[in-house]
Amino acid sequence: MTDLISVRGLTKSFGDVDVLRGIDFAVPEGTVTVVIGPSGSGKTTVLRSLNALELPDGGTVTVGEATVDFGAGPPGKAELKRYRAQSAMVFQSHNLFPHFTALRNVTEGPVVVQKRPAAEVESQARDLLTRVGLAEHADKYPHQLSGGQQQRVGIARALALRPRVVLFDEPTSALDPELVGDVLTVMRDLADEGRTMVVVTHEMAFARDVADQVLFVDRGVVLEAGRPADVIGKPQQDRTREFLDRILRPL
C-alpha cells in the first residue's frame, strides 16, 4: 500500500514552548489515521501542519504529490498552493460563512479558488449535500441549521475540493451529544468508501471501529502508534494507559 502522507522530523515552537519535538508517521492511501492525546499535546498542530495552516519550523512532509522541507525555510506561494491543494480541513467549530447558504458554502471554494465551472460545481455540491443527508437544507443559512447539520455542511465543503486527504480537527467536540452520531455516521461512510482521512478526536469508539492506525501524541512526540486493538486495547506505554483510563473510565 502506497503512503499518501509521510511526515519526518516535524518540529514547531511557539515562543519558548516546543509544541512538536520530532514527529514521524506515515498514512497509507485509503486508510484512516486517528490522532489522540491530551489537550496541549500537539495533536492539532500536527494536523494543521498537514494543510500548512501552521507552518512547522522543521521537518519534511509529503502529502500526495507535494513535498515541503520546512527546515529549508518558509515555502513559496506556488509551493504552498500545491501543498495545500492536496488536503481539505473540517474544523471543530464549522467555520461556515454565515452570510452564505449551505449550498454556497460548499460551492465557494471550488468556484473561487479552483476556478471550476459554476454549473458543474453546483451539481456536485447538491450531490454532496444529499450524501450527508442535507439535500432539503441546501438553501438554508448556517443559523438555521443545528450544529451537527453545520458540521455535515463542512464535510461536504471539504469533499467539494476533491482533496487527496480529508483532515478532521475534533469534528464532534463542539456538538451536543445527540448530534454527534449523525456526523460520525458520515465519517464512517467515507472510511468505508476508502477515503484517506486523518482525524483528531476523543471519540474512542470511532477510533476502535474505523481507524486503521492510532497515534497517541503526548508532549510533542508520537509516544505510541499502531492498530486500534493494540494502542487502545493493549497500550504499551504507561502514559497511554493513564490517558485512556481517564477517557474511557472517567470519574
Q: Tell me the CATH number at 218.
A: 3.40.50.300
Is residue 37 included in any domain, yes or no?
yes
pLDDT in tens, 19-32: 999 999 999 999 99
Determine what percent of the chain is predicted with pLDDT higher than 70.
99
Q: Is the pLDDT of residue 53 over 60?
A: yes
Q: Is the pLDDT of residue 78 over 90?
A: yes
- Give the list of residues 6+ apart from residue 197 with CB closer than 8 angstroms, or none: 31, 32, 33, 165, 166, 167, 168, 187, 190, 191
Closest to 66 in 3D by CA, of 7, 114, 24: 7
The separation between the first and the last C-alpha atoms of the chain, rounded to the nearest angstrom, is 41
Residue 17 class from Cβ within 10 Å (0-12 exposed, 13-18 middle, 19+ buried)? Answer: exposed
**Residue 250: pLDDT band by 50, 70, 90 thresholds?**
low
CA 157 – CA 51 distance, rounded (Å): 15
pLDDT for 97: 95
Q: Is the pLDDT of residue 226 over 60?
A: yes
pLDDT for 48: 95
Quote the distance between the C-alpha of residue 112 and its chain's center: 22
Provide the 3-class DSSP secondary structure of residue 126: helix
Q: Is the pLDDT of residue 220 over 70?
A: yes
Q: Is the pLDDT of residue 45 over 90?
A: yes
**Residue 56: pLDDT band by 50, 70, 90 thresholds?**
very high
Q: Which segments of 64-164 are extended strands (E)? A: 66-69, 87-90
Q: What's the CA angle centered on 214, arms 157 and 27, to 5 degrees? A: 60
CA 118 – CA 213 distance, rounded (Å): 38
**Residue 148: pLDDT band by 50, 70, 90 thresholds?**
very high
Is residue 47 included in any domain, yes or no?
yes
Q: Which amino acid is at 242?
A: E
| 112 to 17, 73, 107, 108, 124: CA distances (angstroms) | 37, 29, 8, 6, 15
Is residue 134 included in any domain, yes or no?
no
Is residue 32 included in any domain, yes or no?
yes
For the chain, the domain total comes to 1
* Cβ proximity of 180 and 173 under 8 Å: no
- Structural domain including 31 reads 1-84+204-251
pLDDT for 94: 78
CA 4 – CA 206 distance, rounded (Å): 22
Q: Is the pLDDT of residue 174 over 90?
A: no
Is residue 166 included in any domain, yes or no?
no
Mean predicted confidence (pLDDT) in 98-126: 96
Is residue 215 included in any domain, yes or no?
yes
Is residue 194 included in any domain, yes or no?
no
Mean predicted confidence (pLDDT) in 209-237: 96
Q: Is the pLDDT of residue 1 over 80?
A: no
| 228 to 36, 204, 209: CA distances (angstroms) | 11, 9, 8
pLDDT for 179: 85
**Residue 249: pLDDT band by 50, 70, 90 thresholds?**
confident
Q: Is the pLDDT of residue 158 over 90?
A: yes
Is residue 96 included in any domain, yes or no?
no
pLDDT for 93: 83
Please indicate, yes or no, whether the overall pTM of this predicted structure exceeds 0.85: yes
Q: Is the pLDDT of residue 251 over 80?
A: no
**Residue 205: pLDDT band by 50, 70, 90 thresholds?**
very high
